[in-house]
Amino acid sequence: MSSSVRLGIALLGALALVGAAAPGRGEVSPLAIAGTEFVDASGARILLRGFAIQAKMPPFRPVQSAADFDPIRGYGANVVRLHFSWEAAELVEGTYDESYFDYYRQVVDWAAERDLYVIIDFHNNAFSRWAANGCGSGFPPWAISPAVPPVPPKPNGECVFNEEMARAIFLGTDNERIWVDFLEGSHGARSRFFALTARLAQEYAAHPNVIGFDLNEPLPWNTSGGGFDHALMTDFYEQWAAVIHAADPGAFVFVEPFFIHHILFNVPTLYEPFHIDNAVYAPHYYEFGTINQGRPILPHAPSIESIVASRQKLGIPVFVGEWGGPMGGLQAIEDQLHLVVRDFDRHRFSGVRWNYSPNWTPEGLDHFHDEDYSCFDDQRLPRPGCFPRAFAPRTAGIPLSSVFLHRDESLVFHPLLPELSDLYRMSGTFLEHRWLHDPSMGATVLFAPVALLYDAPPRVATSPGLTCEYDPAQTYLSCRSDQPGVMRVLVHPQ
C-alpha cells in the first residue's frame, strides 16, 4: 500500500475517531508508582502515551477549547505534557498574571473532560528568550543571572534553533553561569520558582488528572570540560521535590538527565538513586541525524539499552518526556520512529511525542523559529509521519510482553541502508499482548482502533476464559476474565 493511500485511510479514520472517541467521562483514576510501573487505584499497570503541547512564543495560549484535544485522543493519547510558561505567569518579578493561571486551569479541566492526565511542564530552551542570543525560551528575563546581560528576544522565525542551542551550551560560558546561579539559588530566582511551584502544587493537588511536575532540559553544562553537573541537579531536584510534596505528597517528580545523554553518550545515567518519593526518570530521545541532518544516521539500540540500564540503576519508572522527528514526510524517519516505539512497547516506556501544536500553520509552523514537529496540521488532521500506534494503556496484572506490528511498518530498519525497509514491510496489523492476569484489577485495555489500523473488523483470539470486546466506536478493546493466570490476546486481520 502506498504512503499516499495509507495516509488517506488514516485521515478518514482520524475524522471518524474524533467524533467517536473525543467525549470522555471526565474521570481518571489517581495514579501511583509501584517499583518501575505506574499503577491505578486497583493496582493495574498503566502505560502513559501522548503528546507534548508547547507554546514558546507569546501569547503562550495554544489550547482554545476542549475540542483541541480531540485529534490526540483519536490517536489514543491518555497524557499530555502541558507547557507552563513562567514568562507568561510572572513576566514582572513578584507579580502574577492571574489571567494566565485562569487559562491554564481551564485547559487542565478540558484535559480532564477528555480523560487526559496532565504533566505540568516548566518548559524552557536555554533558559529564556532573553538568553542564547535571543533564541531561547521559557523563563522571564529577571530570572537570568545578574552576571549575564540579557539579550533582546529575536522575532519568531529569525533563529536556527538547534544551532543556537548548541552555541549557547558548548561555545560560551553564559549558559553555564545562568543555570548554576539559578540552581544554586544565588540571586532569588530559584526562590520565586519554588514559590510558583508551591502555588501550582497546592492548586492541583485535588485534580487527579494532574500527575506531576517536570523542568524541561536543565543545562548546567561546564564548557571547560566538567560536563553535566549531576550533583547540582540532584540537590536541586531533592529540594524542589520537597516543595512539591509539601502540598501534594502523591505528585510525580520528573527528573531529567542532560538532554542528549541517551542520544550521543549511550551509557547508563550518572545519577545515583534519588532520595525523592515518586520520582520518574524522564530522558528525551531524538535520533541525532533526524533532527540535525534531516534523516536518520545512527542506530538507536544503544540509546534504548542505556535507558533500560538507567531504569535498573534508579529503580523508578521511565517516561520519555520527548521523542519524535520533524514532519518532512521522509519515509526513513517514519520507519525509524516506528522502530523506536516498538522498543518502547517492548520495554514498557511511557512517554509523549514532540509535539502537538494546536495553532500550527503552514506559514508559522510550530510558532517557534524553524521548529516543525506538530503531528497535526491547521485542520487538525495528521501530517505525513504522524502515525497511530496501538498500545496497552491498562493491564490487569503483570505485563509479560507486547508485540504490536502495524501495516506498512518495516520489521527491519538501518539508517545507512533505508532501502532494506521496503523488503520487510508488514502486510497488515498484528497485535499480541500477554500478561499474568489478576481478576481483582478488572479489565486489560488495548487501544486498537479499527478505523485507523484495519480495513475491516479484525479477528480477536484469546486465551481460554478470557473475553474481549470492543467499545461501540471500535476504538478500545477490553479484556476480562474471572480466572487468574497467563492471558493472551491476539488481534489480526480477517
Query: What is the number of other CB atoms lying within 10 angstroms of the CB of residue 160?
Result: 12
Question: Do residues 382 and 397 share a domain?
Answer: no
Question: Do residues 45 and 105 share a domain?
Answer: yes
Question: Do residues 484 and 359 share a domain?
Answer: no
Residue labelled with grid coordinates 543555570: 179
Encode pLDDT of 200-239 as tens digits: 999 999 999 999 999 999 999 998 888 999 999 999 999 9
How many helices (H) and strands (E) in the chain? Answer: 12, 23
Encode pLDDT of 346-377 as tens digits: 999 999 999 999 999 999 999 999 999 999 99
CATH number at residue 198: 3.20.20.80
Encode pLDDT of 276-317 as tens digits: 999 999 999 999 998 888 889 988 899 999 999 999 999 999
Question: Do residues 370 and 438 share a domain?
Answer: no
From 389, 424, 456, give the residue that closes a domain. 389
Q: What angle (nearest 5°) sits at the alpha carbon of residue 261, between those of residues 356 and 54? A: 20
CATH number at residue 486: 2.60.40
Task: Please report, as a single letter, which amino acid is at residue 404.
Answer: F
Contact 327, 303 (CB under 8 A): no
Q: Please report which confidence band the pLDDT of residue 13 belongs to, taking 50, 70 and 90 as the band edges.
A: very low
Question: Do residues 335 and 198 share a domain?
Answer: yes
Strands in 310-414 per DSSP E: 319-320, 322-323, 350-353, 391-395, 397-405
CA neighbor of 76 nearest in space, from 463, 448, 455:
448
Question: Do residues 317 and 400 share a domain?
Answer: no
Question: Do residues 201 and 298 share a domain?
Answer: yes
- Long-range CB contacts for residues 480-485, cutoff 8 Å, separation at least 24: 480/396, 480/439, 480/442, 480/443, 480/444, 481/437, 481/439, 482/439, 483/437, 483/439, 484/397, 484/436, 484/437, 484/438, 484/439, 485/436, 485/437
Domain that holds residue 455: 393-494
From 373, 389, 405, give the residue that closes a domain. 389
User: In this predicted structure, what is the pLDDT of residue 25?
Assistant: 56
The per-residue DSSP string of 180-202 comes to: HHHHHTSSSHHHHHHHHHHHHHH
Question: Do residues 129 and 169 share a domain?
Answer: yes
